[in-house]
Structure 1
Amino acid sequence: MLIADKLENQKNMTVAEAGIAGYLITHGRDIKRYSTRDLADATYTSPATVVRLCKKLGFSGFNEFKDRFLEEQRFLEQREDAVDANFPFSKEDNAMRTANRIAQLHAQTIEDTMSLLHYRDLQKATRLLQRCQRAHIFSFGTTLNQAESFREKMLKIGCRVSISNNLNYQLYEARCLTPSDLAIAISYSGETDKILLVAQACRERHVPILALTSYGENSLTSYADCKLSLSSKERLFENTADFSTHVSVNLLLDILYSSIFLLDYDKNYQRKLTTTQSLEKNRRLEPLDENGNTA
């Protein structure tokens, strides 16, 4: 979860802390030379209030916050996107222009996701998948539908993957895992209460965790053994849809599948071919009439 999103959505802020958060959102890179006292003076608060807000955001103090916040600002400014990830089209656009802008957003998201993907992290994630007896995917909402596609591909090459669509069962399942399993936690914000309960249960049972989450630090990454970053230019709520997040999740899951496939390419291809043929051998194509309907 981006620090900017945390500043906008942090719960239980006092009026003074909310004033500091608003100042930080507005001034961004201007705080580069600020000390704790400088920020307190600029916001008519106290250094203690500044430090208290930074700790609520998960940092030890203002100096750590400032370093991470400025790093995030550099990341967000390194490339001016052609399409706004939150509002890729407007009410003035026609259908074809909207189609082109959505296509641009997909390409832009793929480029952004790849810029955040590092060889060392991918190698570690692949090893975790390779070594586990079964991977268990934990997430909520439409991401589970994307995970089902990953599960199907993995099963066809003999890799066991489990998904529970029941949110309560996910926590029960996490408490039944062993160190030979792998938990794959998918959460854009990395701050969802139930996913953090799952991660905590896995940590208590020494179950390795692979997190697919947004750029930067969040609560989920503190539990994870390995993290792959999602494209992180989409706001949590103020957007037309989670277009960018869905593209980024799909890309990373496809990359993970392909990395496992590569470990024994010929064997996995033969297994996938055999599995697919055995499932499809009884399927018949129904003839179509001149109107395209089955005869």
Structure 2
Amino acid sequence: MSLTAALQNTIRFNPSEEAVAQYILDHREQVLNLSIQTLSERTFTSPSTIVRLCRKVGLKGFKDFKIKWSAELQKEYNTISNVDPDFPFTDDDSYGEIQKKILELFTDSLNKTNQILSNDQVETAVEYLLKAKKIGVFAYGDTYLPALNFQNKLMKIDMAVQLATLPGENRHLATNFKTGDCAIVISYSGESKNNYYITQLLKESGTTVIVITGNTHSHIASLADLVLPVAKNESQSVKLSTFSSQVAIDYVLNTVYGCLFVSNYETNQSKRIASETLFLDDRF
């Protein structure tokens, strides 16, 4: 029988022991950081009551209890599965359970994206970007953060990336692109009206378009010269946050960045070292 089940089986407990058991069940993680004296104070009982409870559930004392309790909680966290990407945690989850669920959600999204993203697709994206006279990234809302991160990384290896900074600027920026340029359009759903209009503008001007999306059969994807897929776990309805999609998009962009970096490794490495050395200089 698990300790949780033993603590819930209150038939053998007196009222004081039952109070301690309920406190432990209500404060599952916090109990691990409490001394027997602190636990007795918080439950308005005595240390001897706690020791007696521990023995009734088959353990020698409170120290032994905490060791077994910690192991049981860890086992529970390790067996958490089938995390809902839209609502990965609830108000009943402990901090440890939330930590485990977010880890599982990220791992699942990364693994699924890795499975559908081919080496050929990444290689083609890198070729397009290296040949481009001008590079732009078009993103909106939550997808803007991975785009900004990508721009920041490329800037540090002297690759300029244009990214709109104000709402509504995307359309104006798109009109500046033409044949010989390359644009990355990020749209998780692939059905955003604004992004679809921007992608049309880019295609009409002869710009090479790379689309990063969770919907490879979407209207936006149909306009692309190249589609880089991400795992489509989230729904388009209400969700707590875009955990799964953001980490997947970040993964794809970081992969492209890594491949761009190694395409001219010695030069890029020298730039990064020179830049870091400059900013470490205490003359400023």
Is the structural similarity TM-score above 0.5?
yes
CA shift in 2, pair 1:123/1:91, >3 Å: same
> Residue 199 in 1 paired to residue 199 in 2?
yes
The aligned residue for residue 147 of structure 1 is: 147
Deviation at 1:267, TM superposition (A): 1.3
| Higher CA-based Rg | 2
- List structure 1 runs of 4+ shifted beyond 4 angstroms: none
- Unmatched 5+ stretches in structure 1: 1-80, 285-295
The aligned residue for residue 75 of structure 1 is: none
Q: Secondary structure at the match of 1:154?
A: helix
Deviation at 1:186, TM superposition (A): 0.3
Partner Cα distance (1:281, 1:163) in 2: 30
Contact 2:191/2:220 (8 A) holds in 1: yes
The aligned residue for residue 175 of structure 1 is: 175
For residues 85-114 of structure 1, the C-alpha deviation after alignment (integer angstroms, 9 at most, x for no partner) is 122112221111111110111111110110
The aligned residue for residue 268 of structure 1 is: 268
Partner Cα distance (1:141, 1:282) in 2: 38
Write the mapping of 1:1-295 to structure 2, written as runs, cut at 5 A. Answer: 82-282=82-282
Q: Which amino acid aligns with 2:135?
A: A
Contact 1:138/1:186 (8 A) holds in 2: yes
**143-152 or 206-215: which moved more?**
143-152
CA shift in 2, pair 1:283/1:155, >3 Å: farther
Deviation at 1:215, TM superposition (A): 3.6
Q: Which amino acid aligns with 2:156?
A: K
CA shift in 2, pair 1:86/1:126, >3 Å: same
Partner Cα distance (1:227, 1:282) in 2: 45
| Count of aligned pairs between the two proteins | 204
Q: Which amino acid aligns with 1:220?
A: I
Contact 1:139/1:187 (8 A) holds in 2: yes
Q: Secondary structure at the match of 2:165?
A: coil
Deviation at 1:230, TM superposition (A): 1.3
TM-score, with normalisation over the residues of structure 1? 0.66
Deviation at 1:146, TM superposition (A): 2.0
Partner Cα distance (2:150, 2:165) in 1: 15
Q: Which amino acid aligns with 1:270?
A: S
- Unmatched 5+ stretches in structure 2: 1-80
Contact 2:182/2:208 (8 A) holds in 1: yes
Q: Which amino acid aligns with 2:141?
A: G
